[in-house]
Amino acid sequence: MRVAVVQMNSQENKDANLRQAESLIEAAVASERPDLVVLPEVFTLMGESRDAKRLAAEDEGAGDAWKLLSGLAKKHGIYVHGGSILEKAASDKLYNTTFVFDRAGKQIAKYRKIHLFDVTTPDGQSYRESATFDGGSDIVTYKADDVTVGCTICYDMRFPELYQALAKKGADVIMVPAAFTLQTGKDHWEVLLRARAIETETYIVASAQTGTHANGTRACWGHSLIADPWGLVLARTGEGTGFASARIDIDYLRTVRGRIPVMQHKRI
């Protein structure tokens, strides 16, 4: 299976962001011939306005982003892991939600981000994701052909117990769509992703936002990457928009797990 990560620079214009996503997916499909394409976190809107976020939010199965991803999956006969979008909730908050579509365009998985980003970065910027979002609670995997895929989003990567739970559920690949901040990303992004790959002995596929957002007040690190179960980076993008791809080799994954059978050695 070949997987492609798409790196975007989403802004506070949903229509323009959807056009950007479509263009990059089309280019990745033409160039890389992937079986599965992954988009970044909140690819439909990157901004500070709560009103804009609520206007951009969608109901499952009914919004423009959902329909676009379903249509592209069916058009190209690929799996589309839809990064995440803003999903409407019963409360006055939203969910940060991944929707996944199979080769026929059918939705096969939904994951709501569990860990919410309530931090202050080294440059003094404050992020309070819980002011806008409710967290999910379900640990989600799905099948893409013969490959079992686990779902996470961005800040989830700092919680290895989630990745251990996904590995226990049989994940061969774990997705990490992200909008990782520039300040934390330059020091932590690759280190954390490679660590999650090594400790779970899975492929880690991380598709990121890049550049500035919200009228230049926020910045994302970019550097989307795919790491193998040994922790080696197989493919990566730079700082601009674009895509990269790598092959998921299940035979190699089994070889790594045979050499160091960490799941069999667990005692806690």
Active site residue 151: no
**Mean pLDDT, rounded, for 232-260:** 97
DSSP element (H, E) containing 101: strand 94-101
What is the percentage of the chain residues whose pLDDT exceeds 70?
100
Catalytic member of 41, 58, 87, 201: 41
Structural domains of the chain, with CATH: 2-265 (3.60.110.10)
DSSP element (H, E) containing 17: helix 14-32
Interatomic CA distance for residues 141 and 223, integer angstroms: 25
Active site residue 186: no
pLDDT of residue 48 exceeding 90, the answer is no
Q: What is the pLDDT of residue 268?
A: 86
**Mean pLDDT, rounded, for 49-72:** 96
* 102-154 per-position pLDDT tens digit: 999 999 999 999 999 999 988 888 999 999 999 999 999 999 999 999 999 99
Active site residue 41: yes
Q: What is the pLDDT of residue 87?
A: 98
CB 214 within 8 A of CB 12: yes
Residue 233 pairs with which residues in a beta bridge? Answer: 227
Interatomic CA distance for residues 178 and 134, integer angstroms: 17
Q: Which of 150, 198, 159 is nearest to 177 (CA)?
A: 150
CB 115 within 8 A of CB 159: yes
Phi, psi of 247, deg, nearest 5: -95, 135
Catalytic member of 53, 113, 151, 220: 113
Catalytic member of 53, 87, 110, 154: 154
**Mean pLDDT, rounded, for 156-162:** 98
What is the percentage of the chain residues whose pLDDT exceeds 90?
93
Q: What is the mean pLDDT of the chain?
A: 97
CB 3 within 8 A of CB 206: no
Give this prediction's pTM: 0.97
* 184-219 per-position pLDDT tens digit: 999 999 999 999 999 999 999 999 999 999 888 899
Confidence band for 17, pLDDT divided at 50, 70 and 90: very high
Q: What is the pLDDT of residue 144?
A: 98
